[in-house]
Structure 1
Amino acid sequence: MHRLIASPFLSDYLLLHPGHPSGVRIPEARYNELRALTGPDAAPVWLHDAARQAWGLTLDRPPTADLLVRERSRYGYAKASWEINLGCDYDCEFCYLGEKRFEGLDWQGKQQLLRTMRDAGVLWLQITGGEALIDPEFGAAYEYAHQLGMMVQVSSNGSSLRKAPIRELFARHRPYRLTLSVYGATAETYEKVTRNRGSFGRFLDGLDAARADGLPVRLNVIVSDDNAHEVDDMVALCKRYGFPHQVFTNMSPTIDGEANPLASQAEAHMTPRSVFTGCNAGHTFFHVNPHGIASICKVGRDPSVNLITEGLATLPRLGQIAESLQLRTGGCSGCTKVGTCRTCRPLAKLYQEAGDRRELYCQHGGYGS
């Protein structure tokens, strides 16, 4: 398996070491030089130097054995997120996915989808769920993404990190980031939130395994009305393990516009969002659901394109969809605070479909004004 990746990335060219977030920017001439290497050709001196200086790597094999050179893509996408399966072993009341069904593409379809994303130019791939690690084909899909030259991040609840097959998989192919959610600092609270008996012990076992294996973990502290009394203790838990963390306090409606998650918010802990100034969703980034249906992001899911039945050529439509979804229509048309709005239009639309609790997302409604 390759230890280095040379790849186009938007208007740049990068040299990367799988499993490590740092990279080396290289000029186009050096990318072309690597692309032209064949068989027993000696690796250029600058490649040896870059690998040693950036990651402490010694290249002692023919470069074609250590290096994967990704081809240019005319589609211009750099990042994607993929829900491999919406099924989950937890049943959190505030989950934005709503009904979490165990369904999706078969293995052949997953392979086709991953190749399509590679051909679209996707270099950085987030695999999420549901709970990604419990998908029966997660290991095979994760390994295949690595073979295709993707830098893979995994989002998980951590309940399966203690398992030997997962530990062995991540030892062979290290993720560049492993993002785990924290739902409580005690068994009583954590299991009340997840509605899964024994889940706290499995979570801590997963954290222990990740720390022992030196995995690049980042923790997301999720605050709800059921665990808000343990916010400080959850942060302290993150610090004890030595993992960086972020605290998230604002819930969103489900992807179908249902209001259920909003009732679980700890409103005293909510914070105003930053001013929304636009994003690259649909242009250099896209999201894919378990059936291979691509949308501009996890929030703006409709309209969409089907990468399995329509193919790669349909992806450029996402840019047009992104522009149309950002138009301020319906409850946002004629808004006088467009310049300081804190909510993207697709998310505002979900709030409106969920009953228009305007104080949760709109400055006109009072919250964050």
Structure 2
Amino acid sequence: MHQLVATPFGERRLILRPGSTKAMQLPRAKFDELRTMASHHSTVPQWLVDAVRTQWRVDLIGRSVDEVLLFREAGPFAFSRATWEINLGCDYDCVMCYLGEKRFQGLDMAGKRELLSAMRDAGVIWLQITGGEPLIDPDFPESYRLANELGMQLEVLSNGSRLRKPHLLNLLRTYPPTRLTLSVYGATAKTYDAVTRSRGGFDRFREGLEKAVAAGLNVDLSLIIVQENTHEVDAMRAWASQLGVRYREYANISPTIHGTAEPLPSQSPQYLTSRAPFTGCPAGVTFFHADPFGRASICKVGREPNIDLTAEGVKGLARLSEIAESLMLRTGGCSGCTLSGTCRVCRPMAKVFQEAKAPLANYCQHGTR
């Protein structure tokens, strides 16, 4: 198993360590030198031994370059990041879920291998695996290992309910993700189980969270704030602080990906945050999203049009930037808006709010004037 990944990143050349958020930048000449040394099974040069020891406290003395370094090739486009919904099934039924109907379906393992290989060939370095709930997918362990073997830096978004399972915890301990982001829905069983509509969910989550922290995984908590748990916000914050892990808070609830309004009543008005003006994003340019069927879109909100990545291969991604431009055009109720320069949401997000007939205050500054 490789310990380091050497990869182009635009005009830069990086050395990455799986499971670490740190990176080393190399001059192109040094990068090319290492590639040549790898082809000759040469021993790791002292300058790299010293740099890796300083950065990651890893000893490479006497090791061969090809043994410890996996070399990545540059993709044909600028894509370096992607998210992947390995499935849309979930063992929870949260009151504010943006997925709507959660169906467990998608590619078989052969299709997943093809998709991950296409992502690698596209130049994806940082891959976020999500769902639904990714850890309930029977193909998750093999998919996760393969993505690691292909040289991707992995983040997993999970509800944490399955982390107590030894085979999953051992998998993540063996191939550490750069970040394991877990959602928190309450600080007591009564509240947590009510929000997730999953009896016993809190006890499963707490056990998994504690085991993940004890295993030294890089845990990051997302505190999901809704009407049903506002009385426990301080307790959720205190829990995260007690565990010594980072946390972020999310209270701005969106409609479903189908443009329906079921999640919106769970939103807690007193915890809403004012979004910064939308000034653009890398969706469809340096980033893309893949759904469980391998359909690549600019992001998880702007899902149409999309590209069947397993059928078309990497070359199909050439159309994503054009799709991104078309989806960002101000249309419908936003066309001709004089406030578009300071709009708080992108056009695809505004569209799902409009389809859900949400109040303007949820997404548009007109609603606050």
Q: TM-score, normalised by structure 1?
A: 0.98
Q: CA deviation at 1:229?
A: 1.4
Q: Is the contact between residue 174 and residue 215 of structure 1 (CA under 8 Å) also seen in structure 2?
A: yes
Deviations 1:34-91 (A, max 9, x none): 2222243122222112211110111132111111011122222100000001100000
Could you say which residue in structure 1 is the equivalent of 2:203? 201
One-letter code aligned to 2:334? C
One-letter code aligned to 2:52? A
Give the ranges of 4+ consecutive aligned residues of structure 1 lying more than 4 Å apart after TM superposition. none
The whole-number CA distance in structure 2 between the counterparts of 1:166 and 1:98 is 27
One-letter code aligned to 1:9? F
Could you say which residue in structure 2 is the equivalent of 1:34? 34
**Gapped runs of 5+ residues in structure 1?**
none
Deviations 1:271-326 (A, max 9, x none): 11111110111000000000000000111111111101122111011111111111
Q: Is the contact between residue 43 and residue 63 of structure 2 (CA under 8 Å) also seen in structure 1?
A: no
The whole-number CA distance in structure 1 between the counterparts of 2:144 and 2:334 is 41
Q: CA deviation at 1:10?
A: 2.4
Instruction: Give 3-state SS (helix, strand or coil) of 1:318's partner.
Output: helix
The whole-number CA distance in structure 2 between the counterparts of 1:313 and 1:55 is 36
Instruction: Give 3-state SS (helix, strand or coil) of 1:25's partner.
Output: strand
Q: Is the contact between residue 39 and residue 62 of structure 1 (CA under 8 Å) also seen in structure 2?
A: no
Say if 2:297 is the partner of 1:295: yes
Say if 2:38 is the partner of 1:52: no
The whole-number CA distance in structure 2 between the counterparts of 1:120 and 1:188 is 45
Which of 112, 115, 128 matches 1:110?
112
Deviations 1:249-286 (A, max 9, x none): 10001111011111110112111111111011100000
The whole-number CA distance in structure 2 between the counterparts of 1:119 and 1:263 is 42
Q: Is the contact between residue 126 and residue 153 of structure 2 (CA under 8 Å) also seen in structure 1?
A: yes
Could you say which residue in structure 2 is the equivalent of 1:322? 324
Mapping 1:223-262, distance limit 5 Å:
223-262=225-264
Mapping 1:123-272, distance limit 5 Å:
123-272=125-274
Say if 2:24 is the partner of 1:24: yes
The whole-number CA distance in structure 2 between the counterparts of 1:72 and 1:362 is 40
Kindly tell me the number of residue pairs found equivalent between the two proteins: 367
Could you say which residue in structure 2 is the equivalent of 1:337? 339
The whole-number CA distance in structure 1 between the counterparts of 2:276 and 2:227 is 23
Instruction: Give 3-state SS (helix, strand or coil) of 2:99's partner.
Output: coil
Q: Is the contact between residue 10 and residue 77 of structure 1 (CA under 8 Å) also seen in structure 2?
A: no
Deviations 1:174-216 (A, max 9, x none): 1110000000010000000011111101111011101110110
Q: Is the contact between residue 83 and residue 130 of structure 1 (CA under 8 Å) also seen in structure 2?
A: yes
Deviations 1:100-151 (A, max 9, x none): 1110100110000000000000000000000001100100000000000000
The whole-number CA distance in structure 1 between the counterparts of 2:46 and 2:287 is 34
Query: Percentage identity across aligned positions?
Result: 54
The whole-number CA distance in structure 2 between the counterparts of 1:309 and 1:40 is 37
The whole-number CA distance in structure 2 between the counterparts of 1:188 and 1:356 is 30
Instruction: Give 3-state SS (helix, strand or coil) of 1:245's partner.
Output: strand
One-letter code aligned to 1:115? S
The whole-number CA distance in structure 1 between the counterparts of 2:34 and 2:42 is 10
Select between 80-89 and 51-60 the one with higher mean Cα deviation. 51-60
Q: Is the contact between residue 7 and residue 71 of structure 1 (CA under 8 Å) also seen in structure 2?
A: yes
Select between 183-192 and 8-17 the one with higher mean Cα deviation. 8-17
The whole-number CA distance in structure 1 between the counterparts of 2:203 and 2:227 is 22
Say if 2:117 is the partner of 1:122: no
Q: Is the contact between residue 81 and residue 128 of structure 1 (CA under 8 Å) also seen in structure 2?
A: yes
Which of 340, 344, 348 matches 1:346?
348
One-letter code aligned to 1:45? Q
Say if 2:68 is the partner of 1:78: no
Instruction: Give 3-state SS (helix, strand or coil) of 2:105's partner.
Output: coil
The whole-number CA distance in structure 2 between the counterparts of 1:151 and 1:363 is 38
The whole-number CA distance in structure 2 between the counterparts of 1:356 and 1:170 is 40
Instruction: Give 3-state SS (helix, strand or coil) of 1:260's partner.
Output: coil
Which of 91, 94, 97 matches 1:95?
97
The whole-number CA distance in structure 1 between the counterparts of 2:102 and 2:11 is 38
Instruction: Give 3-state SS (helix, strand or coil) of 1:170's partner.
Output: helix
The whole-number CA distance in structure 2 between the counterparts of 1:178 and 1:283 is 25
Could you say which residue in structure 1 is the equivalent of 2:2? 2
**Gapped runs of 5+ residues in structure 2?**
none
